[in-house]
Chain A
Amino acid sequence: MKITDAMKVIDDKWIEKKKGFRVCLQRREGTEWVTDYTPGEKVAPLDSDVTTWRLAWKLAQSTPPGSGDPQDGDMINIFVVDQDNNPITYYATGAKETFNIYSV
């Protein structure tokens, strides 16, 4: 096997290079929870998971779940996904994290 072939195998199979990240969340609209992404699915995703996790955390801090009934605009179950909508691990803890957990 040539070195170039070996490198190709490594590039393809060793560590997956992510193409981008989005914050996935559920937002209250009327009486329903709607799954939403930021940035939206029709625009380019963010290229930094650090920035995306920061965005997720700030969104979670801005909309903490109240004790009463859900209100319009509430955001729950906030986490970060990759380009294929797969949840990614939080780099700070090494585990899959979800902010503002709320069972629907």
Chain B
Amino acid sequence: MEGELTAKMERMRHVMTEYGTDMIQAMVILVVGLLLLQFVMRKLRVLLDKKVKDRIRATTVLGIIYILALVIIFSAALITVGFDSRNLLRLMVMIGLGAIVILLVLRPYLPTLPFKVGNTVKVGTLLGKIEATTMVHTRMKTFDGKTVFIPNSKVLNDFVINYHYTPTRRIKIDIPIRHIRDILKTKQIMESIMVEDPRVLLKPARPVVYVINLVDGCVKMGARCWVNNTKFWLTQCDLLEKMLNFMERDKIVLAGRRQAIRVFHETPLEVSGEGTGPALDMQATSAAQVPEETGFAAVSDDDEI
């Protein structure tokens, strides 16, 4: 037992004597190299952020530089320890080729995120711009300035709307009016406002106004037009503002939602004679028309853009 331990110690002493200096040198190369790489990458990122407008390209370039530098540092450390540089090169080529083959074969089966950095997307109820994606989570900046870290598992399991896949979007503005006699005038106002706006497109479809419904005593008018994705929100707001102004000027009465409130009065009915029977509830009802908020709205599922 004691002999085995002595033999092990002796072997270790021999290894340390023979390779100790090289191992320390390799460790120094590794540590200094990695620290230097971190420092250089930080400086490079700041520089590229200032100089390059395309952030996706900048990130790709930085990634390639980082991987190449890592390979060089590890190779230098291994060669210092005593690895044969030719064998090392072969090993790296084999690993590289293997990785490419695995990627090519497995790529169709690997779950991929349905967006890229810079896309404006809606994940579940979150709407914003994708800032970065990692193996674990996606970093999104919402339009009210919050940074949200969404687990990729949630992204893959939830519905995702990517607004970059199509260049155009349809604006939908519904305005309820009170009187049927105003239908034609409202149609003309809504349509002419859309047609004259420089941002409203004639394709994929021309601006159009529909009489959508007659409900709760009001006529629901619906305007539809197409605009470029990037101009969607502002155009929708401008169109709604102009439509409301024009309608106000032309004395078109907007319909407010109505709600009937019934008030019940309990009045016991007295019955004369022996014994008093059960009081009869007399229900007097009165209805009051209470105007609620007006129901016009630019209808969109992305109101927070």
B249 at the binding interface (Cβ < 8 Å): yes
Interface size class of A (residues with CB under 8 A): 10 to 19
Q: 0/1 per residue, A16-47, Cβ < 8 Å to B?
A: 11111000000000000000000000000001
How far is A91 from B244 in the complex, measured between Cα atoms in Å?
A: 10
B196 with A16: CB separation less than 8 A: yes
B259 at the binding interface (Cβ < 8 Å): no
B238 with A48: CB separation less than 8 A: yes
A9 at the binding interface (Cβ < 8 Å): no
B195 at the binding interface (Cβ < 8 Å): yes
A92 with B196: CB separation less than 8 A: no
A51 at the binding interface (Cβ < 8 Å): yes
Q: 0/1 per residue, B222-261, Cβ < 8 Å to A?
A: 0000000001001101100110011001000000000000
Contact with A47, one of B202, B231, B241, B245 (Cβ below 8 angstroms) = B231
A66 at the binding interface (Cβ < 8 Å): no
B195 with A15: CB separation less than 8 A: yes
Collect the chain A residues with CB atoms within 8 Å of residue B246's CB: 91, 94
Of chain A, the residue at the smallest CB distance from B191 is: A15
A11 with B202: CB separation less than 8 A: yes
B213 at the binding interface (Cβ < 8 Å): no
Least distance between A93 CB and chain B CB atoms (Å): 8
A18 with B234: CB separation less than 8 A: no
Of chain A, the residue at the smallest CB distance from B249 is: A94
B192 at the binding interface (Cβ < 8 Å): yes
Least distance between B246 CB and chain A CB atoms (Å): 7
How far is A91 from B247 in the complex, measured between Cα atoms in Å?
A: 11
B195 with A47: CB separation less than 8 A: no
Chief secondary structure at chain A's binding surface: loop
Contact with B192, one of A11, A15, A18, A20 (Cβ below 8 angstroms) = A15
How far is A48 from B233 in the complex, measured between Cα atoms in Å?
A: 12
B129 at the binding interface (Cβ < 8 Å): no
Of chain A, the residue at the smallest CB distance from B238 is: A50
Least distance between B111 CB and chain A CB atoms (Å): 40
How far is A92 from B198 in the complex, measured between Cα atoms in Å?
A: 18
B198 with A50: CB separation less than 8 A: no
A18 with B196: CB separation less than 8 A: yes
Least distance between A94 CB and chain B CB atoms (Å): 5
Q: 0/1 per residue, A80-104, Cβ < 8 Å to B?
A: 0000000000011110000000000
Q: 0/1 per residue, B195-235, Cβ < 8 Å to A?
A: 11111101000100000000000000000000000010011
A18 with B195: CB separation less than 8 A: no
Least distance between A79 CB and chain B CB atoms (Å): 18
- A91-B199 contact in complex given A15-B192, A47-B231, A48-B234, C-beta closer than 8 Å: no
Collect the chain A residues with CB atoms within 8 Å of residue B196's CB: 15-18
Collect the chain A residues with CB atoms within 8 Å of residue B235's CB: 48
How far is A47 from B199 in the complex, measured between Cα atoms in Å?
A: 7
Name A residues whose Cβ lies closer than 8 Å to a Cβ of B: 7, 11, 14-20, 47-51, 91-94
Known: A16-B196, A48-B238. 19 other contacts (CB 8 A): A7-B206, A11-B202, A15-B192, A15-B195, A17-B195, A17-B197, A17-B198, A18-B196, A18-B198, A19-B198, A48-B197, A48-B199, A48-B235, A50-B238, A51-B234, A51-B238, A91-B245, A91-B246, A94-B249
30 A-B pairs with C-beta separation under 8 A: A7-B206, A14-B195, A15-B195, A16-B196, A17-B195, A17-B196, A17-B198, A17-B200, A18-B197, A18-B198, A20-B198, A47-B198, A47-B199, A48-B199, A48-B234, A48-B235, A48-B238, A49-B238, A50-B237, A50-B238, A50-B242, A51-B234, A51-B238, A91-B241, A91-B242, A91-B245, A92-B245, A93-B249, A94-B246, A94-B249
Name B residues whose Cβ lies closer than 8 Å to a Cβ of A: 192, 195-200, 202, 206, 231, 234-235, 237-238, 241-242, 245-246, 249
